[in-house]
């Protein structure tokens, strides 16, 4: 069974969702992320995908105090991403309680640092964030699209111990129109041993069922929970 991973995206310490990564298409949902995280925990969820959108834009970790609060006041296993661009950022995130860290922009812009993290911490703790537009990697909060192909980047990091990738099709994210099933199928076919976590576009329970059937390691659900197209109670059968 795939792991169900609710998402909290942070701007100025508050829960928000963007549409297709556009900071101008921001919708705020909750002032207090801890209330949201505790609600997830109360419904039996065990994992949390926490994204520092301020950090992604600033190219350094910003909302680490929120991470520290959620890690200390819940039992959720947190993976943290957004703005982790240096050894110092990584140190802060570990100290604040993240169990895994997702690197996206750094995997493209500062490959030697990111590869060193795999050597130091191992593939269980470091996740490759692959945000894509037309299978090309998008970085810095999706504000910039590179010419690097998704599968080239994955293969490069498999060589240094990559085990997990969170893959988001930017075109799908926040649209509540369903995830990129074909993309995930292609990824599974090419890399059957890679633990692929689907993100973006998950909008109904049937989406969750279909992704589970595909054998993905995890399914990140964000906007659908906040807009209640998927209710937390609906997820109990997947836990």
Residues assigned a catalytic role: 9, 131
Considering only 9-13, 42-46, 124-128, 171-175, which range has the smallest mean pLDDT? 171-175
Cβ-based neighbours of 178, under 8 Å, separated by 6 or more = 172, 201, 202, 203, 204, 207
Q: From CA 161, how far away is CA 239, in angstroms rounded?
A: 28
What's the rounded mean pLDDT across residues 34-43? 98
Please state, rounded to an integer, the average pLDDT across all residues of the chain.
94
What's the rounded mean pLDDT across residues 63-89? 97
**pLDDT of amino acid 25:** 81
**pLDDT of amino acid 140:** 63
- In percent, the amount of the chain with pLDDT more than 70 equals 97
- Has this prediction a pTM greater than 0.85? yes
**pLDDT of amino acid 46:** 98
**Through-space distance between the first and last CA atoms of the chain, rounded to whole angstroms:** 8
**pLDDT of amino acid 85:** 94
**pLDDT of amino acid 23:** 78
Q: Residue 13: which pLDDT band, with cuts at 50, 70 and 90?
A: very high
**pLDDT of amino acid 1:** 87
Helix (H/G/I), strand (E/B), else coil: 68? helix
Tell me which DSSP letter residue 227 carries. Answer: T
SS3 of 75-116: the string is CCEEEEECCCCCHHHHHHHHHCCCCEEEECHHHHHCHHHHHH
Helix (H/G/I), strand (E/B), else coil: 18? strand
- Which domains are seen in the chain, by residue range? 3-238 (3.20.20.70)
What's the rounded mean pLDDT across residues 54-76? 96
Helix (H/G/I), strand (E/B), else coil: 1? coil
179-222 confidence digits (pLDDT tens): 999 999 999 999 999 999 999 999 999 999 999 999 999 999 99
* CB 203 within 8 Å of CB 230: yes
Residue environment code for 139-171, b if the CB has 16+ CB neighbours within 10 A, otherwise e: bbbbeebeebebeebbeebbeeebbbbbbbbbe
Residue 44, both tokens: 């039996």
Cβ-based neighbours of 112, under 8 Å, separated by 6 or more = none
79-110 confidence digits (pLDDT tens): 999 999 999 999 999 999 999 999 998 999 99
Q: Say if residue 141's pLDDT is above 70.
A: no
């Amino acid at each position: 069974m795939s792991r169900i991973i609710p998402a909290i995206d942070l701007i100025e310490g508050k829960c928000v969702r963007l549409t297709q990564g556009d900071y101008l298409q921001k919708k705020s949902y909750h002032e207090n992320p801890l209330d949201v995280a505790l609600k997830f925990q109360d419904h039996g969820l065990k994992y949390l995908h926490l994204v520092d959108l301020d950090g992604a834009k600033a190219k350094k970790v910003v909302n680490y105090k929120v991470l520290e609060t959620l890690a200390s006041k819940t039992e959720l296993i947190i993976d943290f991403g957004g703005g982790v661009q240096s050894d110092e950022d990584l140190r802060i995130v570990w100290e604040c309680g993240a169990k895994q860290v997702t690197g996206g922009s750094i995997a493209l812009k500062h490959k030697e640092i990111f590869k060193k993290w795999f050597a130091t911490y191992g593939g269980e703790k470091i996740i490759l964030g692959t945000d894509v537009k037309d299978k090309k990697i998008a970085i810095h909060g999706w504000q910039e699209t590179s010419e690097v192909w998704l599968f080239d980047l994955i293969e490069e990091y498999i060589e240094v111990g990559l085990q997990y990738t969170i893959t988001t099709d930017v075109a799908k994210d926040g649209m509540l129109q369903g995830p990129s099933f074909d993309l995930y199928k292609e990824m599974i076919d090419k890399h059957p041993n890679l633990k692929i976590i689907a993100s973006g576009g998950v909008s109904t329970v049937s989406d969750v069922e279909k992704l589970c059937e595909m054998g993905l390691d995890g399914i990140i659900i964000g906007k659908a929970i906040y807009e209640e197209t998927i209710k937390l109670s609906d997820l109990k059968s997947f836990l």
